[in-house]
A and B are shown apart, each in its own frame.
Chain A
Amino acid sequence: MKTEMVAMILAGGQGTRLGKLTKNMAKPAVPFGGRYRIIDFTLSNCANAGIKNVGVVTQYQPLELNAHIGNGASWGLDGIDSGATILQPYSSSEGSKWFEGTAHAIYQNMDYIDQLDPQYVLILSGDHIYKMDYEAMLENHKQNHASLSVAVIEVPFKDASRFGIMNTDENDRIIEFDEKPENPKSNLASMGIYIFNWGRLRSVLRTGYAKDSTMSDFGKHVIPAYLDSGENVIAYRFKGYWKDVGTIDSLWESNMEFLNPEMDLDIRDKGWRIYSKNHISPPHFITEMGSAKDSLIADGCYIAGDVKHSVLSDDVQVKDGAAVSDSVVMSGATIGKNVVVKRAIIGENAIIGDNAEIDGTDEIEVVGYNEVIGVTLDED
């Protein structure tokens, strides 16, 4: 069967704004919500929308991401005629295939797409938390005989100048694109999700690079080029929870929103599950002195202290007398006795020694992966 649409997830972002958390890990691999990683949302959307082939384009620190995605089995992408493929830059006889921008990354991976010979290519970013049915977007794309569809979300007008803003006509055809405009004419922000007719995009990229012109970025170059050449570019309106978790503040905030059982993302909806790689740990244990309130707790945790308004990933230990509040604690971290953790993100396998205090009241405090804070006594 011919592949109708291939998804390309751009997961190579260095994510420098996440500081310590992305020192050794690509941004999409950063843990989120207790047992997920950021990219799980996009991958699960692909699986749920019936997309069978997903190329994951990586560039910086791909180890963790590769280990997480593997062959895509955790998302059911490992069937016949389907699969997740990690696409990394490499050196070829024509020179290095390093990626200079979003569109350039697709250009460099043209062989992968060509080999599947799809009609459409779905471009996604691996660092957003949202649920979206790409199949519905494709239907809309076909109905409108679009050459390019861009998913857009209404943002508050005051924030609009931070985004790529789409100005549309009454049929949601995009007539103008403003990258981070000072005086936005609309509040329709691009979500960085595109459906292209592959044949057309392929030739635009090839011609662009043949002429030595820069066609490296979708927002800066490709979309304007499409508009200039009068292509039918359609805005696809998305309603629902969508969050770019590119900064410490937004990552923390998004985790806190994730806590709320009534949140729009509706994480417990069995009809649109978010899948992740499963790790096997025993059930979590709350001791006689332990307590958990307004918190999400994953398998393998051991809670002897008080946990409040926090997200705890697999195998976290909170020892007696410790108080964790308004925080995100990633897998395998140990919070020592009588430790106070407030408004913090604690990285994987970090160890907070007894009696230490991590206070992020003014600014979210971040403890890196494997970081050791304070004096740790021998394990009892």
Chain B
Amino acid sequence: MKTNKMCALIGNLHRYNGLMPLIKNRPLATLPFDSKYRLIDFNLSNIANANIKSLFMVFNEGETSSVFDHIGGGKEWNLDGIQNRFFVHTYQDFIRKDDNNSSYYEVVIDYLRKSKSEYAVYMGSKILCNIDLKTLLHIHRTRNCDMTVVYKKIAKQQTSEEDILFTLDNEHTIREKTFAKDVTDQDEVNLCADIFIIKTDLLIEILQQKQAAGILGNVESFLRERISSTTNAYEYTGYLNNIFDIRSYYRANMDMLDTNKFNSLLYSSQKVYTKMKNEVPTYYTETSIVNSSQFATGCMIKGRVERSLIGRGVTIDEGAEVFDSLVFAGNVVKPSTTVRCAILDKNVEVDEGIRIEGTPEKPVVVEKGMHVTQDIIGG
């Protein structure tokens, strides 16, 4: 049996300014999600669950430390086996090579060749889903076409301007692809999930052509460009999030408090893996009042938490109240504080008696490591 049918590429280049300051020092891929995950866990788990043994990732320069910290040796996603490997590359290296007139796609082409796999799967970073890539490959092969792209029916308001949308006919043939900003008359749209399967040889060929033409782009843009009526469109029916600004990010997290959505994403037939930590189970004191919330391990909950997602190792002191908020790992919320509709990035300390309040439409974001000594009222 040929085991390495597919190799995988993950791209993470586009910087969505609407996600600032959450992506100030980290790529979108390592943004925390649902108390204990990072967005990239979903892609990595999709890869692990499909027995893909080789992975190539591209990030922006200066954003890789959180990637390495999270992925480590890749053990949790089975990337550390004797036959398995992963590579991390920075996009700026391509640019420098371009400046030197050297062949900038060589490293990708080299990777694709060495993977010895017949197909390559590409995934972007802003789409969160738990997709069975083995089935995707199977369908791609039976359709006998150049490329398969995944799409999802989604409400128009859940798309960003630069998303690609498809118009399909009854045979699921792509009739038209447009940027979301140009579509105004539809409530429900077919969102391109930026997940592609393509023959490895064909991808190499595309890269070589681009190289020859002196075009510096990225794999995602080349694949998007290639979508045509001959592309096989695969409709993903599971739960999917499109994350491109604070609001969409906040909503995607809050969706996890809906049991059906939570089960669909995290309790499907495929497991989602994340970095393992040796944390003590979370302790709730006699004074805790908690409901409709999720908690990672290692927390100490003495106060009140409602409709919120609490990360690892968080302390919510007595008399503190947290409503409709995302509290990332390592936060300390002191007594008698009120946090409402807020996103507290990692290791934030909120002083006693402070009020942090946003609105569901515009949650307040407190940057990583901040010590909050004054009220923050936003919205």
Contact = CB atoms under 8 A, between A and B. Distances in A.
A47 to B, nearest CB: 11
Interface string B280-318: 111111111111111111101100000001100000000
Interface in B89-129: none
Interface string A3-39: 0000000000000000000000000000001110000
A267 B76 CA distance: 24
A275 B280 CA distance: 9
Given A287-B291, A288-B291, A299-B296, A280 B284 contact: no
Given A285-B294, A290-B291, A296 B283 contact: yes
A292 interface: yes
A275 B278 CA distance: 6
Contacts of A268: 280, 298
Interface in B32-48: 34-36
Contacts of B310: 283
Interface on chain B toward A: helix, strand, loop, or mixed SS? loop
Interface residues of B, number: 38
Interface string B252-272: 000000010010001100011
A293 B289 CA distance: 8
Given A282-B272, A286-B295, A295 B284 contact: yes
Given A280-B273, A282-B267, A288-B291, A294 B282 contact: no
B108 to A, nearest CB: 31
Contact of A284 (B276, B278, B294): B294
A287 B280 contact: no
A280 B271 contact: yes
Contact of B281 (A275, A286, A288, A312): A312
| Interface of A, helix, strand, loop or mixed by DSSP | loop
B51 interface: no
Nearest to B310: A283
A293 B276 contact: no
B282 A284 contact: yes
A155 interface: no
Interface string B329-357: 00000000000000000000000000000
A286 B292 contact: yes
B278 A294 contact: no
A86 interface: no
Contacts of B273: 280
A35 B297 CA distance: 10
A313 B291 CA distance: 19
A283 B276 contact: no
Contacts of B248: none
Given A35-B281, A288-B292, A296-B281, A261 B274 contact: no
A289 interface: yes
Given A261-B300, A286-B290, A286-B293, A296 B276 contact: no
B291 A286 contact: yes
Nearest to A275: B278
17 contacts: A35-B280, A261-B285, A267-B280, A268-B298, A274-B278, A282-B34, A283-B297, A283-B310, A285-B262, A286-B290, A288-B291, A291-B291, A293-B284, A294-B286, A297-B281, A297-B295, A299-B296
Given A291-B291, A292-B301, 20 more contacts: A35-B280, A35-B297, A278-B276, A282-B34, A282-B262, A283-B34, A283-B35, A283-B36, A283-B297, A286-B294, A292-B288, A292-B290, A294-B284, A294-B285, A294-B286, A296-B282, A297-B281, A299-B281, A299-B296, A313-B281
